[in-house]
Chains A and B, each alone.
Chain A
Amino acid sequence: MAGKNCVAIAGDTRFGVRNQTVALDSNRIFKINNRTLFGMTGLNTDILTLRESFKFQMNLYNLEEEREISPKTFAHNVAQTLYSKRFGPYFITPIIAGLEGEDYTPFLCATDLIGAMEFPKSFVVAGTGEESLMGVCETFYKENMEPDELFEVISQCLLAAVDRDALSGWGSVVHVLTKDGITTKRLRTRKD
């Protein structure tokens, strides 16, 4: 979700196989650099593999280009990587959130599993509870929220949607990215 010169990503931490919960601490939101956060949902093995793959690419990028990648460029890179596996895709839905340029303009991008990009201005949702999430976010989202308010809104949206979805829950984590840094908070959700 985007606010005024800030963005936030929130996700639950359940890792399960259909209705069996396997782990409660699976973190699926990763920091690419101080300006970019990257979250994924979907097949866990693809999430882990792509995490390593992007870490590899970004390390090389930082060394060769001697600069940090911007969120927009990273988003295009993700889309291109996913499309390169067009006929044997990674089963994930990635979300990229960041602050672009010197003015720290909020940047959001979501793609599907084969890299079709979308650049919403307000919020973007993904995962098993995405229908509930879409509804709640539509209701509670406001433009130009300050970081504190953004945190409140995104947390409430996540909690509400997670309660409605059997396959989501068991703890959640919220990252708020502003120009001063990233604040991470863990929320208690229903443990069922």
Chain B
Amino acid sequence: MLNEFSNNTISLFLQKKKKKGSFFNFSLTTFSPNGKLLQIEHALKAVESGATSLGIKASNGVVIVTEKKLPTTLIDENSVKKIQKLNDGIGVIYSGLGPDYRVLISKARKKSQQYFKQYNEIIPVNIISRKVAGIMQEFTQSGGVRPFGVSLLVAGYDHNGPQLFQVDPSGSFWAWKATAIGKNSSNSKKFLEKRYKPDMEIEDAINTAILTLKEGFEGEMDEFNIEVGVITNDKKFRILEPEEVKDYISELNL
């Protein structure tokens, strides 16, 4: 009888120890019979229906721009900042689910600071892109989580010069000379293919980027519904003020 009693208490104790959600320690992203990971395909669809973002790598810098279409005029547009800095020398923009983006930025910033703590050097662009891609891949192969519904464009300037990387929900990443993600990405990319020149300077690149964004823009484009981020050889990523953006837009309208 003593054994029964102790067995019961032990099993009760073990039950109490079970954490919530420990039922899901298998991956939700599983292969389909034709070799695809459907969750990732769906995540890419979520990206494709997100707001357009594009980036261009010039010979002396990188520019990233995005649409900031807010659902109603009641939203305070100053509080919405889509382009974010990972550290002084690297900026990021996304297409897809905003909340997923915020979480990724937070993780990426932490990784970049860990690198700085170790080496007292700003993390190179290809290394941080690889680390972020690694995080995104983890979420395609872990228990109880779903892939991130964002693609990122990472722009930076380090010892290898200006660089622009795209990171996808699958965890793949690669470098671009110029690209667009989100809605209208294929049209924008065709436009960029015609306009891109390898020896383009940054001013030219900013104009081309805003022009490309305008092509697919629904409605009137002004300095409050787009965001522009630039990094040149001073290695400091800057998000342009609305007044500066206004100047570029008015130049294009002439």
A residues near B (Cβ < 8 Å) are 64-65, 67, 72-73, 76-77, 80
Residues of chain A with a CB closer than 8 A to B127's CB: 64-65
Report the Cα distance A77→B118, complex, angstroms: 5
User: What are 18 A-B pairs at a CB distance below 8 A?
Assistant: A64-B127, A64-B130, A65-B124, A65-B127, A67-B159, A72-B120, A73-B119, A73-B120, A73-B121, A76-B118, A76-B119, A76-B120, A76-B121, A77-B118, A77-B119, A80-B117, A80-B118, A80-B119
B117-156 contact mask (Cβ, 8 Å, vs A): 1 or 0? 1111100100100100000000000000000000000000
Report the Cα distance A72→B120, complex, angstroms: 8
Report the Cα distance A55→B107, complex, angstroms: 29
Report the Cα distance A76→B159, complex, angstroms: 19
B102 shortest CB reach to chain A, Å: 27
B80 shortest CB reach to chain A, Å: 35
Report the Cα distance A110→B119, complex, angstroms: 16
Report the Cα distance A20→B251, complex, angstroms: 82
Query: Considering only CB atoms, which chain B residue lies closest to A75 in the complex?
Result: B120
Residues of chain B with a CB closer than 8 A to A72's CB: 120
B residues near A (Cβ < 8 Å) are 117-121, 124, 127, 130, 159
Query: Considering only CB atoms, which chain B residue lies closest to A117 in the complex?
Result: B120
Residues of chain B with a CB closer than 8 A to A73's CB: 119-121
B159 shortest CB reach to chain A, Å: 7
Report the Cα distance A53→B190, complex, angstroms: 50
Residues of chain A with a CB closer than 8 A to B118's CB: 76-77, 80
Q: Which 9 A-B pairs have the closest CB atoms?
A: A76-B120, A73-B119, A73-B121, A80-B118, A77-B119, A76-B119, A77-B118, A65-B124, A65-B127
Residues of chain A with a CB closer than 8 A to B130's CB: 64
Given contacts A76-B120, A76-B121, A80-B119, 15 further A-B contacts (CB under 8 A): A64-B127, A64-B130, A65-B124, A65-B127, A67-B159, A72-B120, A73-B119, A73-B120, A73-B121, A76-B118, A76-B119, A77-B118, A77-B119, A80-B117, A80-B118
Report the Cα distance A129→B119, complex, angstroms: 31
Query: Considering only CB atoms, which chain A residue lies closest to B116 in the complex?
Result: A76
Residues of chain B with a CB closer than 8 A to A76's CB: 118-121
Report the Cα distance A73→B124, complex, angstroms: 13
Query: Considering only CB atoms, which chain A residue lies closest to B159 in the complex?
Result: A67
Query: Considering only CB atoms, which chain A residue lies closest to B117 in the complex?
Result: A80
B111 shortest CB reach to chain A, Å: 13
Report the Cα distance A65→B120, complex, angstroms: 15
Residues of chain A with a CB closer than 8 A to B117's CB: 80
B125 shortest CB reach to chain A, Å: 11
Report the Cα distance A80→B120, complex, angstroms: 10
Report the Cα distance A148→B222, complex, angstroms: 67
B140 shortest CB reach to chain A, Å: 22
Report the Cα distance A158→B110, complex, angstroms: 45
A4 shortest CB reach to chain B, Å: 26
Residues of chain B with a CB closer than 8 A to A80's CB: 117-119
Residues of chain A with a CB closer than 8 A to B120's CB: 72-73, 76
B112 shortest CB reach to chain A, Å: 14
Residues of chain A with a CB closer than 8 A to B121's CB: 73, 76
Query: Considering only CB atoms, which chain B residue lies closest to A72 in the complex?
Result: B120
Report the Cα distance A47→B117, complex, angstroms: 23
Residues of chain A with a CB closer than 8 A to B119's CB: 73, 76-77, 80
Query: Considering only CB atoms, which chain B residue lies closest to A80 in the complex?
Result: B118
Report the Cα distance A67→B124, complex, angstroms: 11
Report the Cα distance A65→B158, complex, angstroms: 12
Report the Cα distance A64→B115, complex, angstroms: 13
Report the Cα distance A113→B121, complex, angstroms: 22
Residues of chain A with a CB closer than 8 A to B124's CB: 65
